[in-house]
Structure 1
Amino acid sequence: MSVKAKKHLGQHFLRDENIAKKIADTLSLEGYQNVLEIGPGMGVLTKYLLQKDITTYVIEIDSESVEYLQANYLNLAPRIIEKDFLKYDLNDIFKGEPLAIIGNFPYNISSQIVFKTLEMRNQIPEFSGMFQKEVAQRICANEGNKIYGILSVLTQAFYDAEYLFTVPPSVFNPPPKVDSGVLRLTRKENYKLPCDEVLFFKIVKTAFQQRRKTLRNSLKTLDLSDNLKANVIFGQRPEQLKVQEFIELTQMIEADKK
């Protein structure tokens, strides 16, 4: 029995054992005892995770894949979660314990997986997996690059992001139309921002929604004082600012609102 890839779930099953092992080996296994694989499909990556000295859980929305895993990975069966990762409260199982996230992520929800990870950053010290190459590059991009944006700034505020290697379409069934890229996120030692984190998210998202405009124009809705807007930083466009400068900008706006 094998599972048929479903287009509406964005499934592309990895067939290359070497690449699966290489992805499993991106985890350091430091600072957590549990790992959660998202979208395991037929378990090509799962089998290498199960060889490690760690407790592996998988979360899978596709009932056909769940049946396959239950039949072929008997020791994993109690730790198969048949849920939608984006809608599921992980603390039903992990109860606040730290965990790593890994997976060959469905392209259509990969950015949302990162955003959910950022919401749970207190619990997720490490994250690695496969994305559409362009999305992986965007997450790891530096300022001054046209692909640098919301995902880059928000992720890199809390995690060190490394683009690890590229994977060709030919190793998947069915082959996607684009290359894939594997990245690793390692949470920063001090990942609490020295500013209002909710305001930081809002500023980054608002700035990049009109990325061609200067911050003076794109942040108009925040109702800033003329005195503050006279600062030289407001003459720049969002893609010119380093992550640290977005943090400083948030501190300035916080002070301005007092």
Structure 2
Amino acid sequence: MTGDSRRTDGSPERRDPDALMRRAGVRGNPDRDQHFLVDDRVLDRLPTYADEADTSHVLEIGGGTGALTDRLLAFADRVTVVERDPDLAAFLRAEFADAVADGCLTVVEGDALDVDLPEFTLSVSNLPYGLSSEITFRLLPRGRPLVLTFQREFAERMAAEAGTDDYGRLSVTAGHYADVEVVETIPPEAFAPPPAVESAVVRTTPRDPEYEVPDDGFFLDFVTAVFTQRRKTMRNAVRNTAHISGLGDPDAVVDAADDDLMGKRAGNVTPAEFASLARLAWGVGEP
């Protein structure tokens, strides 16, 4: 690793984020969803949120100019970074040539939604916000711990509990795969250029749900469907969204379900109640 000077505590000196941007010849571009994390204190903290995880192979989505990559190389045995910008991918290979040569770093050029992701033990990533949802739901089913940076609103919706204003489809689907926790908020000035909103760091810890569903795909489609009509009662939402959930006989589901549950709105239905209703729908709704 180039520039291996030492801090006063004896640890390796980390690369300066602003210097990395200068060497890469970029300034960030909001139109391309490029907001580089440049706050040293935040960058240093991100890996610590996964200090109990297996760090043998860490996946980073959106390497940018390598400020977080640099920290991860000091933290993990091996790092794979996915970067869709070909110029930045080339820069990462040159900037971290020693780590690439040593087999500690692999740079994958391409879109994280399209490339083949490796078997990883942990992902720590400052995600491109425009693709946050799609990337997150590609990672969550892999059953690995994640430390991901999002827009704050998105992060809070991921971690929301039933009955709160932020609770919705995102809360239920993320919680189906993992415990979700917002561990830090990040001000806009921690990025270059600063985004228009605050950001937040989310830590997910994989676990099996505390309920059973007949089929993951059907359950998630069913939840998505009823939340499209979250202002309606569940009775009406189930009936009105059969074209989304795939139910052939939504009236049979409504007739067989608990009246109190059918009188609730989706925002007040717990994941376990959704699962119970999905099991019922699987049996009588002719999906």
TM-score (norm 2): 0.81
For 1:76 and 1:204, the matched residues in 2 are separated by: 44
From 149, 160, 165, the counterpart of 2:184: 165
After superposition, the Cα gap between the structure-2 partners of 1:14 and 1:98, relative to the gap in structure 1 and judged at 3 Å, is closer
For 1:203 and 1:136, the matched residues in 2 are separated by: 22
Give yes or no for the alignment of 1:51 onto 2:74.
yes
For 2:184 and 2:263, the matched residues in 1 are separated by: 36
Which residue pairs with 1:83 in the alignment?
110
Deviation (angstroms), 1:4 = 3.0
Residue pairs, 1:20-35, within 5 angstroms: 20-28=43-51, 30-31=53-54, 33-35=56-58
Bigger shift: residues 32-41 or 2-11: 2-11
Residue pairs, 1:101-120, within 5 angstroms: 101-118=123-140
Deviation (angstroms), 1:253 = 1.4
- Equivalent pairs, count: 249
Structure ID, larger Rg: 2
For 1:227 and 1:178, the matched residues in 2 are separated by: 45
Give yes or no for the alignment of 1:67 onto 2:94.
no
For 1:53 and 1:214, the matched residues in 2 are separated by: 49
CA contact (8 A) 2:30 2:193 kept: no
2:44 maps to amino acid:
K
2:109 maps to amino acid:
E
Which residue pairs with 1:231 in the alignment?
259
Deviation (angstroms), 1:125 = 1.6
Per-residue CA deviations over 1:103-157 (Å, capped at 9, x if unaligned) read 1111111111112123xx2x33211111111111110111112221111100101
After superposition, the Cα gap between the structure-2 partners of 1:98 and 1:58, relative to the gap in structure 1 and judged at 3 Å, is closer
Identity over aligned pairs, percent:
32
Which residue pairs with 1:246 in the alignment?
274
From 187, 212, 216, the counterpart of 1:194: 212
1:194 maps to amino acid:
E
For 2:76 and 2:193, the matched residues in 1 are separated by: 32
For 1:29 and 1:69, the matched residues in 2 are separated by: 27
SS class of match (2:224): helix
Gaps of 5+ in 1: none
Deviation (angstroms), 1:33 = 2.8
For 2:211 and 2:179, the matched residues in 1 are separated by: 14
Which residue pairs with 2:19 in the alignment?
none
Deviation (angstroms), 1:31 = 4.7
1:208 maps to amino acid:
F
TM-score (norm 1): 0.89
CA contact (8 A) 1:57 1:76 kept: no
2:137 maps to amino acid:
F
Deviation (angstroms), 1:175 = 0.6
For 2:63 and 2:209, the matched residues in 1 are separated by: 29
Deviation (angstroms), 1:64 = 2.1
SS class of match (1:130): strand
Which residue pairs with 2:161 in the alignment?
142
2:234 maps to amino acid:
L
RMSD: 1.9
SS class of match (1:164): strand
For 1:230 and 1:242, the matched residues in 2 are separated by: 14
